[in-house]
């Protein structure tokens, strides 16, 4: 599996969260449910890449590109 950031994942890709890089936003992202092992599906990137919408177990979450760049993920092979 390839490790990348959520911001680099393409529309329709399924990924598993590996970690959240250290920042002031780490606790906020964890409170939203972004934790290691969580499966996400990228729904779309808005024009210019910001924001990014992901499906998290039936819940649609919109993240800024700067937030998505803090989340390392592993792509799930199709």
Q: Characterize the bridge pairing of strands 3-5 and 71-75.
A: antiparallel
Per residue in 5-29, pLDDT tens?
999 999 999 999 999 998 899 999 9
Cβ contact 12:26 at 8 Å:
no
Q: Number of folded domains in the chain?
A: 1
Identify the CA nearest to 45 among candidates 67, 62, 20.
62
Tokens of 47: 């024009």
Per residue in 58-67, pLDDT tens?
999 999 999 9
Q: Which CATH number characterizes residue 40's domain?
A: 2.30.30.90
pTM: 0.90
Domain with 10 in it? 3-75
Identify the CA nearest to 36 among candidates 18, 52, 60, 58.
18
Tokens of 38: 């969580």
- Residue 2: is its pLDDT beyond 80? no
């Amino acid at each position: 599996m390839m490790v990348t950031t959520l911001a680099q994942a393409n529309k329709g890709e399924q990924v598993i969260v590996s970690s959240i890089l250290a920042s002031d936003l780490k606790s906020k992202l964890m409170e939203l449910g972004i934790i290691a092992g969580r499966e996400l599906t990228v729904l779309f990137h808005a024009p210019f890449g910001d924001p990014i919408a992901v499906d998290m177990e039936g819940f649609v979450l919109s993240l800024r590109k700067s937030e998505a760049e803090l989340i390392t993920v592993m792509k799930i092979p199709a």
